[in-house]
Structure 1
Amino acid sequence: MINLSQTKVFGGWHKQYQHTSTVLNCDMRFAIFLPETAGPTSPVPVLYWLSGLTCTDENFMQKAAAFKKAAELGIAIVAPDTSPRGEGVPDDPDGKYDFGLGAGFYLNATQEPWKKHYQMYSYVVNELPELIETYFPVTPDKAISGHSMGGHGALTIGINNPEDYVSISAFSPICHPSIVPWGEKAFRHYLGEDKTTWQPYDAVSLINQHPVTTPILVDQGDADGFLHEQLKPETLLAAAKANNVPLTLRMQPGYDHSYFFIQTFIEEHLEFHAEHLRRDAW
């Protein structure tokens, strides 16, 4: 593991690393914020943040304005890249932004030529936390959040692994990817034509099939240009109501899909996760 950079911020540290991933068969980059209170005798819990299409580990760390509140709450934040990268990693043959590099969709691909590298689900759930918990002063207590494609990832990973994540939140998530253009394109290429293999990566399908007790907070702007075609929060809300899932979905008037939206409400999301991380530690 190579430390690429480190910068002091709000008493803590933002650090960026590169490491070789055996799951993804390539070198990967991630960023971590460690509050000042984090140390060998005082490890802190972790919020994993999953970013959206075209993003890297840098977008959230540079644009979300999360460090001050995370420092106050004593929470580390880990932001992985959004897909495998590097020589030999296949990309969308048409060069589109919504598939391939920058668009791993937080799943384990089963189809050629994608399956050798596109195993982002296993990377986020297993390999990356093992690395973080080995080399940094953190506890095993985790929460997960994300934006857009990363909101989809946070929902599905959190729902599929209730023993690992005490709380889930999302901004503008792709709620029902099996029925929208972004999800259909990615799932068809990564997973094949059998739509039953798509269901473990679709939050609405998961809620309809399995009991979900993990608390979930979702913020969605009503001026989001992707709202009706790609995101469909109403499908998530309907599934949650039908299955008694502890979901809070807040439609925020006038907000779009940008990091200005995330900046506005990120402190409330951090407080939401801190509350559940504290409860889990009792």
Structure 2
Amino acid sequence: MSQKVERYYVPAQSPWPIVGAVALGMIAVGAGNYVASLPDGGGYSGYLLLAGIALLLYMLVGWFRNVIDESMSGLYSAQMDRSFKQGMAWFIFSEVMFFFAFFGALFYARMLAVPWLGGAGNNAMTHEVLWPTFEAVWPLVSTPGGTTTEAMGWGGLPLYNTIILVISSITLHVAHTSLEQDKRKPLTIWLGITILLGLAFLTLQVEEYIHAYREMGLMLSSGIYGNTFFLLTGFHGLHVTLGTIMLIVMFFRVAKGHFTPANHFGFQASSWYWHFVDVVWLCLFVFVYVL
């Protein structure tokens, strides 16, 4: 009795991993030098950062196109789908560890470093020697150099963005459910609404940053509070941008008739990523803005 052997597609060598690595390297070097040279101007580093972002977008378009062509050509098997799911799960886990490191830095500063500098435990004289006027409170709105700033409250734009992201997760879930039920029109509508909500979130975050810089004096150079605030919210904004791009790609694929109730991993992976970004923001809203 013959048994059907399941094929496992092995793609040809691809240039996209090295292109992506070069793009990320350019972004890292450009962003690092740009921030280090503020407020005097970024010099060449700003152009390097923009070139890295452009190259990264080029890589995403090319790689997405190849994967879509392979999928629509019927080259993927059930085992390939399982491999994709495992790969996406490990990718999201790596992103969890990424944000865990930044939240860890925030907790260390708030719960250990600040109380210690304020004389907690057996460290009664350290702040008297290093910073006589230091007060062990969070957020730290002043630096030893005399720079002062304001703390960003949780009301207003941060609260609006929280509501927007929570609603976007709901609309994306409805879109996913519509796909599983093979309802194409509701799928298109709800996915489009999710994309608009993602763009609204990014727009309000830019407005929040402008308000922080111009009216509050809150900058990346504003001590440990400014550092943790912009690193956490900035990297989250970068992830929302990537998630929005993924959803836009899914929207065009849906418009072209791609995906079926039984075969839609690309949409499912984008949905996983978006829900992950939503959960990270809820944690960020509580620990950065509220507490």
Q: Normalization by structure 2: what TM-score?
A: 0.24
Q: Could you say which structure has the higher helix fraction?
A: 2
Q: Which has the larger radius of gyration?
A: 2
